[in-house]
C-alpha cells in the first residue's frame, strides 16, 4: 500500500485507487511483443521510490487500446504532488500548485517521461508546461531507471520557479475581446485544422472556448492571457461543448482521456500562450 497522507482536500491515491484508474502501472512483465533487450522496471516501483522522496500520486490515467491483451501494458500518466503542497496551509483559491507528471508504458510506446505540471485551484484542471524553457525529460528503458527518474524529478522541480514566473507574466498580460477570440481561434486550429479550402472543421465557434465551465471566481474577473488560456484549456480537456458536426448533426465534444492527446493539447496551448505573451511585449 502507498502512504496515506493526511489532507482535508487533496486525496493521495492508494494502491487500490491507482490500480482501478490505471492498471498498467502494476504490470509485472512487459507486453509479449517486446524484445529481450527491453529493460522492464514496473511503474509501481518508481511510485514507491517517489513517495520516499516526498512525492505522492494524486491522479492517474491510462490510454485505451483495441488490441486484445494489451490493456494491461498501455501508456499511463501519474501526477505527483510534493507533501509540502498537500497541506491546506499552503493553498488558497487562485493558486497554482506545482506537480510532477510522470508518463510511462510497458508496451514500447514510451519510455519514462517527466514533465512540469501545474494544478490550478480555481478550476481544478491540470496543465503540463512545455516549450523551450520547460522541456520534458525522457528516460529510456535501460540502466538505472528508478534513480534516473528521481533525479529527473528534482531537475524538473528546480525549474518550477521559472515556470511560476512565466505564469505570473501571463497574468499581467491583459487581452481585449478581439485578442481573446484570436487566441481561441488559434487554439481551435491546433485541435481542428482547417480543411484544404480553409474552412473551419470545429463543430463549434471558437468563442465557445472562452466561456468558463464553472461560476466565475474573482480570480477570473480580469480578461488576462492566463485566464483566457485556462478557460480554453479546460474546455478542451473536459469537453462538453455542443455544436454542429461536419455531417450537420448536433454533437458534443468529448473529454480528452488519451495520455498522448492530453500531453499534446497541453503542450500546444502552452506554446501558444507563451507566443502571445511575447507578441504583446513587442507591441507594448
In angstroms, the CA 277 to CA 279 distance is 5
Average confidence score pLDDT of the chain = 81
Q: What is the predicted pLDDT for the residue at 5?
A: 38
Each residue of 99-144: pLDDT tens digit?
A: 889 999 888 777 788 888 888 765 556 667 654 445 567 777 666 7
In this prediction the pTM is 0.79
Domain boundaries, the chain: 15-163, 173-283
Q: At what angle do helices 259-283 and 225-238 cross, to 10 degrees?
A: 160
Q: What is the predicted pLDDT for the residue at 130?
A: 55
Among residues 21, 37, 131, 26, the alpha carbon closest in space to that of 79 is found at 21
In angstroms, the CA 236 to CA 189 distance is 12
Each residue of 234-254: pLDDT tens digit?
A: 899 889 999 887 778 899 999
In angstroms, the CA 136 to CA 149 distance is 12
List, as own/partner pairs, every contact residues 209-212 make where C-beta atoms lie below 8 angstroms and the sequence separation is at least 24, other chains included. 209/184, 209/235, 209/236, 209/241, 210/180, 210/181, 210/184, 211/235, 212/123
129 in helix, strand or coil? coil
Residue 215's pLDDT band, with cuts at 50, 70 and 90, is low
List, as own/partner pairs, every contact residues 196-202 make where C-beta atoms lie below 8 angstroms and the sequence separation is at least 24, other chains included. 201/246, 202/243
Each residue of 138-186: pLDDT tens digit?
A: 777 666 778 888 888 888 888 888 888 888 999 999 999 999 999 999 9
Amino acid at each position: 500500500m502507498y502512504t496515506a497522507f493526511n489532507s482535508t482536500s487533496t486525496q493521495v491515491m492508494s494502491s487500490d485507487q491507482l490500480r482501478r484508474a490505471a492498471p498498467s502501472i502494476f504490470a509485472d512483465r512487459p507486453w509479449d511483443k517486446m524484445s529481450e533487450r527491453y529493460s522492464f522496471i514496473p511503474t509501481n516501483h518508481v511510485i514507491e521510490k517517489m513517495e520516499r522522496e516526498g512525492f505522492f500520486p494524486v491522479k492517474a490515467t491510462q490510454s485505451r487500446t483495441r488490441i486484445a491483451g494489451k490493456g494491461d501494458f498501455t501508456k499511463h500518466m501519474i501526477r505527483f504532488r510534493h507533501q509540502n503542497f498537500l497541506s491546506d496551509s499552503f493553498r488558497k483559491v487562485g493558486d497554482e500548485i506545482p506537480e510532477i507528471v510522470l508518463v510511462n508504458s510497458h508496451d514500447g510506446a514510451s519510455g519514462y517521461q517527466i514533465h512540469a505540471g501545474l494544478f490550478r485551484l480555481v478550476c481544478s484542471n491540470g496543465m503540463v508546461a512545455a516549450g523551450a524553457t520547460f522541456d520534458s525529460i525522457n528516460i529510456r528503458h535501460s540502466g538505472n531507471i528508478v534513480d534516473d527518474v528521481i533525479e529527473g524529478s528534482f531537475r524538473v522541480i528546480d525549474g518550477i520557479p521559472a515556470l511560476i514566473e512565466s505564469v505570473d507574466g501571463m497574468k499581467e498580460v491583459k487581452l481585449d475581446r478581439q485578442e481573446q477570440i484570436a487566441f481561441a481561434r488559434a487554439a481551435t486550429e491546433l485541435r481542428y485544422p482547417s480543411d484544404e479550402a480553409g474552412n473551419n472543421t470545429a463543430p463549434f465557434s471558437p468563442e465557445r472556448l472562452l466561456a468558463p465551465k464553472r461560476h466565475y471566481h474573482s480570480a477570473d474577473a480580469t480578461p488576462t492571457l492566463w485566464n483566457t488560456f485556462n478557460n480554453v484549456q479546460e474546455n478542451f480537456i473536459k469537453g462538453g461543448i455542443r455544436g454542429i458536426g461536419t455531417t450537420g448533426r448536433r454533437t458534443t465534444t468529448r473529454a480528452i482521456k488519451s495520455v498522448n492527446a492530453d500531453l499534446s493539447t497541453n503542450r500546444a496551448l502552452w506554446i501558444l500562450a507563451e507566443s502571445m505573451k511575447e507578441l504583446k511585449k513587442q507591441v507594448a
